Chains A and B, each alone.
Chain A
Amino acid sequence: MKALVAVKRVVDYNATILVKADGSGIDTNNLKFSINPFDEVAVEEAVRLKEAGMVSEIVVVSIGPAQAQDTLRNALAMGGDRAILVTVDGDVEPLAVAKLLRAVVESEKPDLVILGKQAIDGDCNQTGQMLAALLGWPQGTFASALAFKDGELNVIREIDSGNETVSLQLPAVITADLRLNTPRYVSLPNIMKAKKKPLATTTPATLGVDVAARQRVLKVEPPAKRKAGIKVGSVAELVAKLKNEAKVI
């Protein structure tokens, strides 16, 4: 079985984000970028499936600037076999990403596509669903556990009312939630080895996909500053304040 894992290069979750003074976007100058944490979980799951003998080859794909090669090398160091970079500068909207991934799927013909459930920069949570729709494949989103049973893939999904298990026919699209696994540390020798693994690059034009933006960003502004809290002396005082001042009860 062949697995395709999509990874995105995003501003590192530890980086302090600052909005540009003119409100046109985020200032990403010299910020640290790394692999989207949900995608890292997706890569880890594919590697575990390979270690368990379920998957024979892992292809990692990223859509982004030339520096996304570092993100792909990271995924290769975790255990991916080869990588594909679709080079695009600037933001790409989820629908365009899904179309690019569909084109890659059509040439690579994987049995399983695993993605993070969302990227931590745009928080869109759309790409996996759109890809499944474009391919006409079943989808298992927000996966917190996978199990193969009688040729079917059982996916446990974390939803508001609890855990839901869906049973999918392959090929299928899976999006990973954080509890699916804890990604491994990459080791120095594996980073060295990853430098020698194949990495192919292509472009949206080659794949025949129009990535022009369909949305316009009007303004980006930081969230309002939180006001300092107060300490209350008793439960009665708290209830009184919630009732009379905050007017929430």
Chain B
Amino acid sequence: MGRSIHWPAGINRAYRLILCIGDRTGKLMERESMEFDVVIVGGGPSGLSAAIRLRQLAAASGRELSVCVVEKGAELGAHILSGAVMEPRALDELLPDWQAKGAPLTVACADDNFIFLTERRAVGLMAPPQMNNHGNYIVSLGNVVRWLGVQAEEAGVEVFPGFAAAEVLYDPSGAVRGVATGDMGIGKDGKPTENHTPGVELLAKQTIFAEGVRGSLTKSLISRLHLDKDCNPQTYGIGIKELWEVDPSQHRPGRIEHTVGWPLDRETYGGSFLYHLDNNQVAVGYVVGLDYKNPYLSPFEEFQRFKTHPAVRRIFESGRRLSYGARALAEGGFQSIPRLTFPGGLLVGDTAGFLNVPKIKGIHTAMKSGMVAAEAIFAALEKPASGALEVTAYPAMLKASWVWKELYLSRNIRPSFHWGLWGGILYSALDTYLFRGRAPWTLKVHSDHDQLRDARDSVPIAYPKPDNTLTFDRLSSVFLSGAVHEENQPCHLQLKDPSIALTVNLARYDSPEQRYCPAAVYEIVTEAGDNSSHLHISASNCLHCKSCDIKDPTQNINWVVPEGGGGPNYPNM
């Protein structure tokens, strides 16, 4: 819909307006369209790498090629959250002179520590070879992305932060012809406010979906085009991170610590990361596999408890917390990669799931997938096309690249943790040292939402109260994320059937969304009068981590993009 609607002569504008208001969705139908050669949804490492590579190729061959990136965050980097230890392999290939161009990769990894925690003790383990970080850098991925954005703009990419791609546009043959940005100024009631500004149709010969983990448009594409019919389901983790300024006596730039064990139980996959950056800053975080079984488990509280371990607390006791955030990560790896192309578009980066779990790294693979996609698209656009283009060379080229080899060799590590912490470690050692990733089998990956046990078969977990020095509650944490949404807009966390929140989530699982959401979005509120309960959704707290969309037992929660510019505003994360 859009400008292509031709109104019969004689229908005046006022009448058209009445028709528009009468539209089922309450949206005004007039929207402008803009055409580009390539439109990229998402300004993260994969999307910006694709954009930069496309413009590099165009410049080298003297061809005109228009590239546009839309980003739902208020600015580039605002929604980016990662540990992060970055392997510079893809960056070396994309911008070999990144050092001279001032890329914020300044803290070289110094020492790796892999530690098993019990409640009181910390036992050093031999770090597996995948976790050797020699030659890597401890970075703020948000800042790397801000820098990549500058490189992209200098290369002639049109970058539009603050605009959320809300809808995939298809042509009559079913091919993707672009995306539409969301309307701005739609009220809570779904009706346009006086400041209503319609979205814009961004049309392209190729649309690259680079939305990051569990992209909302990618989700709709996977379901509509059955992109996952030949792969395992995707499995995810939720990563929660804080940035601290610590006492100089506790600061060891370049130091890396990873832990497994306490406070998590042995059946739950997860662990901590702790990276010493520069300026007395330490990034600390906790990842919990979203295939956890106990509905009473709270990833947020596990993380807070982790910081109280005697070996950890001394680092933070005299420090101050600067920032907070959370984001899901894709852990399915090789087995869970969906079909990557379809007529009119393709998937790159973590929305396709290129994270290397044993390495705990996905920035380099995300960037490389974007670059390979750019090369394939550029070559395909050279030939005159009739009809929608499916760039099938992209998966072929990716399979020939180091990305595929890396993911193949590490494919069995994460699923082996289905046998618990020690089973997983034992299997991983065998797979790594004996088979070297070439075991003649491939372990299956399962989905996360169907893993919860009933609450009545589960043991509630008593988490300690926050001390407000080392440990905090969710609301004071969300405050540090800078999360903000326009209050007068429709709720972007949609329940397909609102009654299921009580009949299934509350009745069977004691509403686990109250605990897995790291932003206190979901709360069961019981009325004092008639003792009735309802699920209250504080959508404006949302950190866009996507955990609810992933973990909800009946997949009743659907995460859609809110008004552009909404969400966290992470500095230095």
Binding site for B on A (CB under 8 A): 12, 14-16, 18, 21, 29-32, 34, 182, 184-185, 187-189, 191-192
Q: Which residues of A contact B481 (CB under 8 A)?
A: 16
Q: Is B406 among interface residues, defined by CB-CB distance under 8 A? A: no
User: Chain A residues with Cβ under 8 A from B142's Cβ?
Assistant: 30
Specify which chain A residues have a CB less than 8 angstroms from the CB of B572 in the assembled complex. Answer: 29-30
Distance (Å) between the CB of B160 and the closest chain A CB?
6
Contact A187 B197 (CB under 8 A): yes
Is B74 within 8 A of A16, CB to CB? no
Nearest residue, chain B, Cβ from A16: B482
Q: How far is the CA of A191 from the CA of B32 in the complex (A)?
A: 13
Question: Do B195 and A182 touch across chains, with their CB atoms under 8 A apart?
Answer: yes
Complex CA distance for A47 and B280, rounded to whole angstroms: 47
> In residues 193-234 of chain B, which contact A (Cβ within 8 Å)?
194-195, 197, 200, 202
Interface bits B143-180 vs A (CB < 8 Å: 1, else 0): 10010000000000010100100000000000000000
Nearest-CB residue, chain B, relative to A190: B197
Q: Which residue of the partner chain A has the closest CB to B33?
A: A189
**Given contacts A15-B482, A182-B195, A188-B200, A32 and B34 within 8 Å (CB-CB):** no
Determine the distance from Cα of A187 to Cα of B322 in the docked complex, in whole angstroms: 33
The secondary-structure label for the interface of chain A is: loop
Q: Is the CB of B74 within 8 A of A14?
A: yes
The answer to whether A188 touches B34, judged by C-beta atoms less than 8 angstroms apart, is yes
Q: What residues of B have a CB within 8 angstroms of the CB of A29 in the complex?
A: 571-572
A21-B245, A30-B77, A185-B185 as given contacts; A12 in contact with B569, CB under 8 Å = yes
Provide the bound-state CA to CA distance between A31 and B142, in Å. 11
| Chain A hits for B158, CB < 8 A | 192
Expressed in whole angstroms, the Cα–Cα distance for A30 and B197 within the complex equals 29
CA distance A247 to B197 in the complex (A): 52
Given contacts A14-B569, A15-B569, 11 further A-B contacts (CB under 8 A): A15-B571, A16-B569, A16-B571, A30-B142, A182-B195, A184-B197, A185-B197, A188-B160, A189-B32, A189-B34, A189-B200
The list of the 4 closest CB pairs from A to B, nearest first, reads: A185-B184, A185-B197, A14-B484, A188-B200
Smallest Cβ-Cβ distance to A31: which chain B residue: B571
Residues of B contacting A188 in the complex (Cβ-Cβ under 8 angstroms): 32, 34, 160, 163, 181, 200, 202
Looking at chain B's contact residues, is the secondary structure mostly helix, strand, loop, or mixed?
mixed
Seen from chain B, the residues whose Cβ lies within 8 Å of a Cβ on chain A are 32, 34, 74-75, 77-78, 140, 142-143, 146, 158, 160, 163, 181, 184-185, 194-195, 197, 200, 202, 245, 280, 322-323, 479-482, 484, 569, 571-572
Q: Report B-chain residues with C-beta under 8 Å of the C-beta of A185.
A: 184-185, 195, 197
Query: Measured between alpha carbons, how far is A16 from B483 in the docked complex, in Å?
Result: 10
Contact B181 A18 (CB under 8 A): no
Task: Tell me the bound Cα distance from A191 to B162 in angstroms.
Answer: 12
Chain A residues near B74 (CB, 8 Å)? 12, 14, 32, 34
Is there contact, CB below 8 Å, between A32 and B569?
yes
14 interchain pairs, CB-CB under 8 A: A14-B484, A15-B482, A15-B571, A16-B480, A18-B322, A29-B571, A29-B572, A30-B140, A185-B184, A185-B185, A188-B34, A189-B34, A189-B200, A192-B158
CB nearest to B140 among chain A residues: A30
Chain B: which residue is nearest A222 at the CB level?
B320
Which of B78, B160, B323 contacts A16, CB < 8 Å? Answer: B323
Chain B nearest CB from A29 CB (Å) reads 7
**Cβ of A34: which chain B residues have Cβ within 8 Å of it?**
74
- Bound-state CA distance A182–B196 (Å) is 12
Quick one: closest A residue to B479, CB to CB? Answer: A16
**What's the nearest-Cβ distance from chain A to residue B37, in Å?**
15
Measured CB to CB, the closest approach of chain A to B231, in angstroms, equals 35
Q: Looking at the assembled complex, report how far the CB atom of A35 sits from the nearest CB atom of chain B, in whole angstroms.
A: 12
Q: Which residues of B contact A16 (CB under 8 A)?
A: 323, 479-482, 569, 571
- Known contacts A14-B569, A16-B571: does B78 contact A32 (CB below 8 Å)? yes
Contacts of B197 in A (CB 8 A): 184-185, 187
Which residue of chain A has its CB nearest to the CB of B73?
Answer: A32
* B104 CB to nearest A CB, Å: 9
User: In chain B, what residue has the closest Cβ to A189?
Assistant: B32
Set of chain B residues within 8 Å of A30, measured between Cβ atoms: 77, 140, 142-143, 146, 571-572
Residue of chain A at shortest CB distance from B568: A14
CB distance from B186 to the nearest CB of A (A): 11
Q: Which residue of A lies closest to B163 (CB)?
A: A188
Assuming the A-B contacts A21-B245, A188-B181, A191-B160, are A32 and B75 also in contact, with contact meaning beta carbons closer than 8 angstroms in the complex? yes
Give the distance in Å from the alpha carbon of A18 to the alpha carbon of B320 in the complex: 11
Complex contacts, B34 vs chain A, CB 8 Å: 188-189, 192
- A16 to B573, alpha carbons, bound, how many Å? 13
Contacting residue for A187 out of B200, B245, B484, CB 8 A: B200
Residue of A nearest to B481 (CB): A16
Q: Which residue of B lies closest to A21 (CB)?
A: B245
Query: A32 to B194, alpha carbons, bound, how many Å?
Result: 27
Residues of B with C-beta under 8 A to A12: 74, 569
Interface contact A32-B484, CB-CB below 8 Å:
no
- In the bound complex, CA of A16 to CA of B163 (Å): 22
Task: Give every chain B residue within 8 A of A31 (Cβ-Cβ).
Answer: 571
Looking at the assembled complex, report how far the CB atom of A189 sits from the nearest CB atom of chain B, in whole angstroms.
5
Inter-chain contacts of B280 with A (CB < 8 A): 21
Interchain CB contact (< 8 A) of B482 among A14, A182, A184: A14
Q: Nearest Cβ in chain A — how far from B397, in angstroms?
A: 32
